[in-house]
Chain A
């Protein structure tokens, strides 16, 4: 949005400025097609945020529902659901997202599906653990003995107590989803040209590293600062909301 304010649009091409170093016209220089790097960074972060927020919301919804069910019912349902999450956890890091994105094909929608498929697991585990301990709280037992329905118990009596811990988890996962999105785009599996994406910009930057080292440096520094800022926000939120740090 900042970009629109300055009248910058990431796809404008200035043929005289191909791979230009930072100057008055292009504050952070221009890329291999003569597009303004600052404008593309701002455009890229918008897309990245939209993707990250959507993915976080969807995977949180799926994960929380599974976690609530597993934690509330326990027994067979719990064992089955946790077995499924264990299988998803057996794939290291973003490998599964890479695999899904690879077979689904590149593009923003497929990227988001791939990230959601792997994103829900941590929420499911977190919610399950919390639900198991909350289930035995007196107010839940009281509501249950007064005949409250299961959805009412879950959403009215248990979920509100989980909200702060979920907000903190969501903040951290925002950062990791943005890294995952950038990684996939870096590998050419994510957001496609002409849309701006930091991952794809980094890949171009590496390609033109010998002639225009400022390109890769600037994009990388921006990404690092953003991730750092989100993680610090997460730390602050954790302290403010008084959520105990746990595994």
Chain B
């Protein structure tokens, strides 16, 4: 029942996402063809593009055509290079995925242990330091942290490549840029959620049974405290995906985000449209999976449903 309900609302959202991305191109002020090709384009070129995009037909049938083409995996082709967009996406998407997953791992590896540490030392100076540092990091946007890391580790120390993706170590700086912000949020969430749990009755019972402090924390408290963190991670994937747009631009990382920015600069709107669609769909899917995982991870939610 839960799955059916979830999937039906998922379908509506997907439909809305398709509609909104489809409408994007119609928001272009004036004639989109004129804007995309520039004034120097020949009449013949304009007519071909106009026919290609089908901009003369009524909106409904245009949308229908858009969906039908999508169903066949056809995202149209780039105005400038004429390459099918699906091929562009296929070559760029793995890079973005690699970057997002690496930053997620960095965020988890730093954030969760620090949060546990801060919760165990609650209201001591260690907790205070951790909280202060994480508040600073969460106020640090990627387009500042990125350049700073680049300056220190690539330019001054020369340990890591400045940008590009030629060597294996190229991923380190962009992944840290994205991961640090995430880890700051995870630290605070883990701390709050663990502190909440530590006051619960079952923890007192576990202690009263004479279990060692370590068993109480690891086996009982952490298991309960990690549940809300699943949701946070799911929600944060969104800002992670959006963050890749800026981080990829800074570090010349050839992913979807950079493709998006390049297509905007070249006014290659079909590519822009496709990138937005792909990123949004990934996010919706991640959220769907988080919801499902959460259902099965938490016995209470499962029973009440």
Contact = CB atoms under 8 A, between A and B. Distances in A.
A95 B276 CA distance: 7
Interface string B133-147: 001100111011001
A95 B265 contact: no
Contact of B242 (A84, A86, A88, A92): A92
A236 to B, nearest CB: 14
A115 interface: no
A221 B250 CA distance: 18
B280 A90 contact: yes
A92 B237 CA distance: 8
Interface stretch (B20-28, B54-62, B217-225): B20-28
A182 B140 CA distance: 12
B172 to A, nearest CB: 18
A209 interface: yes
A213 B284 CA distance: 39
Nearest to A186: B143
B198 interface: no
B280 A83 contact: no
Question: Which one of B19, B242, B265, B279 has the highest number of Cβ atoms from chain A below 10 Å of its Cβ?
Answer: B242
A206 B139 CA distance: 19
A152 B24 CA distance: 37
A220 B152 CA distance: 15
Contact of A202 (B9, B144, B287): B144
A91 B20 CA distance: 10
Given A104-B29, A187-B249, A90 B136 contact: no
B264 interface: yes
Contact of B139 (A91, A188, A213, A224): A224
B126 interface: no
Question: Which one of B19, B135, B246 has the highest number of Cβ atoms from chain A below 10 Å of its Cβ?
Answer: B246
Interface string B235-267: 001111111011001100000000011001100
Nearest to B15: A87
A48 to B, nearest CB: 13
Interface in A166-193: 179, 182-183, 186-189
Interface in B1-54: 9, 12-13, 16-17, 19-21, 24-25, 27-29
Nearest to A205: B147
Given A87-B13, A227-B139, A228-B135, A103 B269 contact: yes
Interface residues of A, number: 43
B150 interface: yes
Contacts of A83: 12, 16
Nearest to A83: B12
A227 B283 CA distance: 26
A50 interface: no
B173 to A, nearest CB: 13
Nearest to A226: B139
Interface string A59-83: 0000000000000000000000001
B283 to A, nearest CB: 4
B246 A183 contact: yes
B272 interface: yes
Given A90-B13, A98-B245, A103 B272 contact: yes
A209 B151 contact: yes
B165 interface: no
Given A86-B13, A206-B147, A182 B241 contact: no
B148 interface: yes
Given A83-B12, A216-B147, A95 B241 contact: yes
Contacts of B12: 83, 86-87
Question: Which one of B135, B272, B276 has the highest number of Cβ atoms from chain A below 10 Å of its Cβ?
Answer: B276
Question: Which one of A103, A206, A224 has the highest number of Cβ atoms from chain B below 10 Å of its Cβ?
Answer: A103
13 contacts: A86-B16, A87-B13, A92-B237, A92-B238, A95-B242, A103-B269, A183-B141, A213-B155, A216-B144, A217-B151, A219-B144, A223-B144, A227-B139
Nearest first, the 7 A-B pairs at minimum CB distance are A87-B16, A93-B242, A92-B238, A220-B144, A102-B264, A92-B283, A227-B139
